[in-house]
């Protein structure tokens, strides 16, 4: 490598370029990690719930698991930032500092090599100049010697010319000897510098360049390792994040979520009763039956209309509303329009009555009581929220009241603790007046006692509302239970339409027929006779009535009350023009009349 200085120069420059190339690679990897972490954090922020502290949204296990996964993903993004920071500090920053030091060191070594080469070249030039001068003087001495010999052999030459040529010869010979000595000295000096250059100076410079290049290689190896270590250090934490995601997935409980849905939307409303069968074809069949000679008239088949119930709600007239007059029910024998000579009867069906019934079903007004079967908790009423939550379904109202009572109890406990602390502090001030004035605590103590009284009144008021709601729910349960028992007891004493009579002699007696009580029409038919008014009401607040089955009203409007509140917070009312619907009970002022007549 003694004569490969330029090649070493190129090689060391390539090493530095490669080092900077790897540093650029690390920098781009750091940018990728930073952008990845930033995008992950933005993703988590985008899908994280933005709930206020008062938000009462039910926490489903699937939602909680997703929120936990988002938190773990946020921690994972933080670990990617740690990787980027570690790479930037340990790898990229170290590479840039070492590259700068390496350039400085390489420049110094190359300058030393160039200086040594320049000094050797200078020594060679001096030696070459002395050599050329010695050679020139030797030629001049030879010429002087030839001139002296020619004059010395020439007989015509004077003695003075011979002496002059002899002196010139001696001068040239002396100068040649001096140049010879100078050339020998310069040659010896050059040989010594050349030996020193190639055996001491240049090998030392090359060794320094070699050590520099080896250190560069070692530094690259360390950076490679640091690059991998930066990733390996966060693997345990990343594994914990992934384990957290798996645990969050395992924590999903479908049964608990279903129970939360039930608790959230449970209204406590009573299911609607069965729809009665309303026969519109009895008069037609009766006319046909009366016109048939072979059809005997049965006096026992007539049913007293006063014993029928207008609505199949499982309520008798004595305990519910006054029944409406119904059309005569369809009796089993009215279906038989002809008889054979041996006395047997066979049914004859007509298309016109069926068509009449189906057209009535299509054009009939929907049954308003079906509005009770709606989940009123799923939509919000238009109007101000009431303090007693009477605008909510019973079960939701009970939950809200219970939550408010719990909150008030917690506040009362805080005020109680504060009162006890103030009393203790007052006692300390009274025993040690230098610590403070006991009278300064009296206003705060009075305010605390006032707050406690206010909270007790609020708790008492809410507990009264809660007792009212629980009493209504219990009453509905008892009423439903008794209705089921009455249905089982009186099952053998009902008419085909579901009417009930106390007189067993007035019961319909005839052969059992499946067509006499068709269940498929129980939920379809509805009478159009208006219900009698049992009072009137005045609207305290306006109500829009956007939902199906509700009745819009203006503030101060007077309406007829045709059905009282059954404990679900709704009253059935009617306008003067006959329009009916349900309105919130808390929005109206109801006045019931004992001896009311039908409107």
* Backbone angles phi and psi of 304, in degrees to 5: -70, 125
Q: How crowded is the C-beta side of 181, counted as CA atoms within 13 Å? A: 5
| CATH code linked to domain 4-260 | 1.20.1270.60
**What's the pLDDT at 226?**
93
pTM, two decimal places: 0.48
Q: How far apart are CA 543 and CA 553, in angstroms?
A: 5
pLDDT tens-digit map of 36-92:
999 999 999 999 877 655 555 557 899 889 999 999 999 999 999 999 999 999 999
- Asked if 79 and 238 touch (Cβ cutoff 8 Å), the reply is yes
pLDDT beyond 60 at 299: no
pLDDT beyond 50 at 572: yes
Reference 274, options 491, 498, 517; nearest CA is: 498
* Backbone angles phi and psi of 454, in degrees to 5: -65, -45
pLDDT beyond 70 at 527: no
3-state secondary structure at position 535:
strand
**What's the pLDDT at 373?**
39
- 30-34, 405-409, 434-438, 500-504: lowest mean pLDDT where? 500-504
| Most confident among 46-50, 120-124, 344-348 (mean pLDDT) | 120-124
**What's the pLDDT at 48?**
85
Q: Label the pairing between strands 570-574 and 580-584.
A: antiparallel
For the chain, helix, strand, coil in percent to 5 are 65, 5, 30
Q: How far apart are CA 539 and CA 58, in angstroms?
A: 35
**What's the pLDDT at 529?**
59
Residues in Cβ contact with 309 at an 8 Å cutoff, skipping those fewer than 6 apart: 276, 315, 316, 317, 323, 498, 499, 500
CA 498 distance to own-chain centroid: 54
pLDDT beyond 90 at 99: yes
Reference 219, options 23, 13, 7, 14; nearest CA is: 23
CATH architecture of the domain formed by 535-592: Roll (2.30)
pLDDT beyond 90 at 592: no
pLDDT tens-digit map of 181-238:
999 999 999 999 999 988 999 899 999 999 999 999 999 999 999 999 999 999 999 9
| Most confident among 34-48, 308-322, 371-385, 500-514 (mean pLDDT) | 34-48
| Helices and strands in the chain, H and E counts | 11, 7
pLDDT beyond 60 at 374: no
DSSP 156: T
Extents of the domains making up the chain: 4-260, 394-474, 535-592
Cα dihedral 189/193/195/200 (nearest 10): 150
State the pLDDT confidence band at 546, using cuts at 50, 70 and 90: confident
State the pLDDT confidence band at 519, using cuts at 50, 70 and 90: very low
Secondary structure E strands in 533-579: 535-539, 558-563, 570-574
pLDDT beyond 80 at 1: no
Both tokens assigned to 444: 């705060």
Q: How far apart are CA 34 and CA 14, in angstroms?
A: 30
Q: Which residue has the higher pLDDT, 256 or 340?
A: 256
* Backbone angles phi and psi of 494, in degrees to 5: -115, 145
State the pLDDT confidence band at 441, using cuts at 50, 70 and 90: confident
pLDDT tens-digit map of 306-326:
333 333 333 333 344 444 444
pLDDT beyond 60 at 347: no
- 136-140, 323-327, 464-468, 580-584: lowest mean pLDDT where? 323-327
**What's the pLDDT at 344?**
41
Q: How far apart are CA 5 and CA 111, in angstroms?
A: 11
Mean pLDDT of the residues in the chain:
75
In the chain the first and final C-alpha atoms are separated, in Å, by 124
Q: From edge to edge, which strands make up the β-sheet containing 570-574?
A: 580-584, 570-574, 558-563, 535-539, 588-592
Q: Which residue has the higher pLDDT, 449 or 491?
A: 449
Q: For residues 481-492, give the mean pLDDT.
A: 46
**What's the pLDDT at 185?**
92
State the pLDDT confidence band at 477, using cuts at 50, 70 and 90: low
Shared fold status for 4-260 and 535-592: no
């Amino acid at each position: 490598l003694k004569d490969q200085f330029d090649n070493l120069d190129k090689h060391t420059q390539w090493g530095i370029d490669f080092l900077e190339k790897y540093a650029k690679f690390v920098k781009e990897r750091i940018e990728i990690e930073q952008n990845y972490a930033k995008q992950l954090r933005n993703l988590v922020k985008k899908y994280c719930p933005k709930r206020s502290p008062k938000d009462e949204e039910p926490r489903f296990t699937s939602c909680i698991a997703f929120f936990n996964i988002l938190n773990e993903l946020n921690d994972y993004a933080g670990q990617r930032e740690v990787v980027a920071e570690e790479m930037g500090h340990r790898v990229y920053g170290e590479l840039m500092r070492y590259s700068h030091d390496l350039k400085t060191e390489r420049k110094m070594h190359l300058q030393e090599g160039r200086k040594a080469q320049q000094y050797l070249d200078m020594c060679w030039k001096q030696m070459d100049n002395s050599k050329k001068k010695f050679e020139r003087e030797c030629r001049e001495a030879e010429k002087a010697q030839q001139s002296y010999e020619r004059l010395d052999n020439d007989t015509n030459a004077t003695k003075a010319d011979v002496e002059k040529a002899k002196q010139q010869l001696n001068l040239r010979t002396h100068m040649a000897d001096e140049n010879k000595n100078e050339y020998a000295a310069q040659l010896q000096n050059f040989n010594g510098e050349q030996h020193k250059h190639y055996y001491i100076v240049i090998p030392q410079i090359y060794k320094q360049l070699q050590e520099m290049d080896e250190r560069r290689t070692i530094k690259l190896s360390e950076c490679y390792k640091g690059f991998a270590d930066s990733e390996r250090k966060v693997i345990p934490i990343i594994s914990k994040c992934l384990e957290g995601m798996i645990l969050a997935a395992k924590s999903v409980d479908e049964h608990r979520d279903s129970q939360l849905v039930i608790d959230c939307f449970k209204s406590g409303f009573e299911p609607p009763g069965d729809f009665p069968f309303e026969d519109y074809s009895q008069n037609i069949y009766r006319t046909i039956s009366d016109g048939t000679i072979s059809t005997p008239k049965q006096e026992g088949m007539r049913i007293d209309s006063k014993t029928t119930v207008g609505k199949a709600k499982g309520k008798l007239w004595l305990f519910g509303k006054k029944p409406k007059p119904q059309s005569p029910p369809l009796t089993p024998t009215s279906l038989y329009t002809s008889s054979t000579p041996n006395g047997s009867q066979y049914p004859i069906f007509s298309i016109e009555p069926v068509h009449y019934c189906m057209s009535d079903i299509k054009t009939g007004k929907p049954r308003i009581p079906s509005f009770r079967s709606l989940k009123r908790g799923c939509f919000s009423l238009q109007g101000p929220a009431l303090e007693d939550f009477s605008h909510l379904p019973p079960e939701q109202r009970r939950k809200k009241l219970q939550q408010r009572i719990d909150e008030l109890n917690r506040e009362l406990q805080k005020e109680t603790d504060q009162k006890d602390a103030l009393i203790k502090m007052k006692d300390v001030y009274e025993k040690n007046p230098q610590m403070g004035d006991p009278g300064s605590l009296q206003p705060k103590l009075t305010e605390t006692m006032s707050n406690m009284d206010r909270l007790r009144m609020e708790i008492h008021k809410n507990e009264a509302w809660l007792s009212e709601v629980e009493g209504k729910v219990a009453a509905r349960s008892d009423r439903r239970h008794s209705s089921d028992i009455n249905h089982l007891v009186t099952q053998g004493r009902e008419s085909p339409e579901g009417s009930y009579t106390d007189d067993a002699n007035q019961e319909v007696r005839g052969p059992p027929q499946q067509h006499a009580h068709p269940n498929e029409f129980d939920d379809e038919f509805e009478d159009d006779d208006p219900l009698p008014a049992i009072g009137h009401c005045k609207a305290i607040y306006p109500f829009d009535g956007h939902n199906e089955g509700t009745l819009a009203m203006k503030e101060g409007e007077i309406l007829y009350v045709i059905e009282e509140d059954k404990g679900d917070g709704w009253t059935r009312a009617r306008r003067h023009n006959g329009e009916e619907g349900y309105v919130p009970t808390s929005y109206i002022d109801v006045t019931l009349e004992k001896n009311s007549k039908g409107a």
